[in-house]
Structure 1
């Protein structure tokens, strides 16, 4: 079955049925996102060797554009997910990539600081992250966040002006979403602040090189976000990411 055929099935079902509650009541389109996962569309861009669709940015943009016509909230969730997965696919481990491919794992971006830059400190094989991120799509709904910080000093490439990226599991202790106010995204996208107060992750959660995250944001995240934003109506939305 082609990805477009799979998408057509879920668009007229779970995605469409969740569009109205998202718009009118601000309800996260969980059933639609789950259906997209089961149809293989959350794993659209993951390698076929891990069970994914093996598709690229053009196909992801096609999916986002089609979903946006039915449920803008779900399209916004997909946009953040696909941009995060592009980094995970380039730098992440096989297990999480296989979970994404199977439709069981939703990613989101947590890159825009709400206050001072997130601090990272390594002790042995554990890294402590402390900071707040704003404009996080699917806050409290995603399974992991692509989280940026200052370097933790875990590699030769780390420097005082660098930026590091981590895949932070949503179930990590002391990671929380404050009482959610209306965010900048479309109603139902669960766009809010996420706080790490602090959060401890294994050093293996690092994506790419310590201090090398700025290159990943510039070369992967921003091109994906820009392309996916171009196919959806951005009139009433603020950017998900502010590049530093």
Structure 2
């Protein structure tokens, strides 16, 4: 079955029937996400080596665009997922990549820390106040991440922090959602599409294995610039929907980012 055929089936069978309830009641579209996983669409951009479809940004953008016409919340979840997978594909573990390909793992982004409700700049995405301290094979991450899509619903987050070994820069981590001391407040963030489960995620601190780092220590800035931002902007522009329906990480329009 082609991904277009699978998408048409999922939109008709799982997304459209629940879109109104998702929008009016703010209920996370768990059934739609499960259907996307079962048909291989969550693993659309995972390498075929791990069981994914091995496709790229253009195909993911088509999936997001068509989904956005039916359910903006589900589209927001997919935008954050596909962008996170772009990082995981390059730096994540084989096990996580295989789980995503099998449709059993939903990823999201936890990069934002600014407190106001405005749009984030490129500079805010490539800096972090999150502290990281290593003790043996364990790293403690302490932060308050804001505007996280699928908060409390995703299986893992691509998480940013200060580097371990240098005072400046950025490091990225794959943080499991089930990790102890990871807390999601009950009240969702009202700036996201209703049902997208956009909220704050607190780590006070959260402990992760040292090998959960995605890429080199201090190399997160380049990863954000060359993987995260192109996917966020590409998925947004192709979907052709309003900015407030595309807040996977609160990124500004492309012309604003270019001037940062």
| TM-score > 0.5 by shorter chain | yes
1:207 to 214, 229, 234: 214
In structure 1, distance between residues paired with 2:64 and 2:246: 17
In structure 1, distance between residues paired with 2:138 and 2:34: 32
Q: Which runs of 5+ in 2 are unaligned?
A: 116-127, 252-259
1:148 corresponds in structure 2 to 160
In structure 1, distance between residues paired with 2:181 and 2:16: 35
When residues 237 and 71 of structure 1 are mapped into structure 2, their CA distance, relative to the original with a 3 A threshold, is closer
Pairwise CA distance, 1:180: 1.6
In structure 2, distance between residues paired with 1:20 and 1:171: 30
Please say which of residues 231-240 and 107-116 is displaced more in the overlay.
Answer: 231-240
In structure 2, distance between residues paired with 1:30 and 1:45: 21
Q: When the two structures are superposed, what TM-score results if normalisation uses the length of structure 1? A: 0.94
2:121 corresponds in structure 1 to none
2:183 corresponds in structure 1 to 176
Pairwise CA distance, 1:132: 0.5
Q: Which runs of 5+ in 1 are unaligned?
A: 154-158
1:190 corresponds in structure 2 to 197
1:125 to 130, 137, 140: 137
1:31 corresponds in structure 2 to 31
What do you get for the CA RMSD once the two structures are aligned? 1.5
SS in 2 for 1:207: coil
Q: When the two structures are superposed, what TM-score results if normalisation uses the length of structure 2? A: 0.89
SS in 2 for 1:231: helix
Pairwise CA distance, 1:238: 6.8
Please say which of residues 226-235 and 208-217 is displaced more in the overlay.
Answer: 226-235
2:112 corresponds in structure 1 to 112
Pairwise CA distance, 1:162: 1.0
1:165 corresponds in structure 2 to 172
Please say which of residues 106-115 and 6-15 is displaced more in the overlay.
Answer: 106-115
How many residue pairs align between the two structures? 239
In structure 1, distance between residues paired with 2:202 and 2:114: 9
